[in-house]
Amino acid sequence: MKIQASSVRGNFKVVNGNWEILELKYEKWFSTKASARYRSQDIRIQAKDFWGSKYMILKNKKEIGEISFNWKGHVVIKLTDTDGVDHEYVMKGKGMWKLRFEIFDENEDLVLSMFSINKWNKLNLDYRIEKTEHEPPFDEHEFLLYCGYAANLYVARMGAS
């Protein structure tokens, strides 16, 4: 499984083998508004506040979560499952030249790792995904969509600082 950049705008696809499962598309260059269509549902991610410190996740116009940064500079993904239970995941960036992300659940169990696949002729990063036995209670492809968006936010923020 991997996350594969599909344009220099930041768009990406969640790919399993040779099968493209879904694609997240940003509205325009340098935009934080992005959308995808998956299993007959509209998914949107957009800034929640003026400062761009929180981003809400909407599914069919209903808020189901948010993405933000904590005081340590890690990305926090909060999602509500179909039973109304909130789950929190922390994405930690590791490395500099060979960037990778590790996503942990609220029990601090490693859920998955995203390893960058650098290609000299691409401006954006692709990621190889490694899952663990600790799976989130969400559709894995949809969860990867949120992780890919969070990774793009992290890289943009680190590039701006």
Q: pTM for this one?
A: 0.93
Tokens of 149: 């968006």
**What DSSP character marks residue 150?**
H
pLDDT band (50, 70, 90) for residue 108: very high
Tokens of 28: 């325009």
pLDDT tops 60 at residue 148: yes
Of residues 54 and 31, more confidence is placed in 54
63-80 burial, b at 16+ Cβ within 10 Å, e below that, comes to ebbbbbbeeeebbbbbbb
The total domain count for the chain is: 1
Of residues 8 and 13, more confidence is placed in 13
How many CB atoms within 10 Å of residue 61?
7
Can you give the CATH number for the domain in which 110 is found?
2.40.160
Q: How are beta strands 12-16 and 75-80 bridged, if at all?
A: unpaired
pLDDT tops 80 at residue 50: no
Q: DSSP letters along 21-66, please? A: EEEEEESSTT---EEEEETTEEEEEEESSTTSSEEEEEETTEEEEE
Please give the residue range of the domain that contains residue 128.
Answer: 2-160
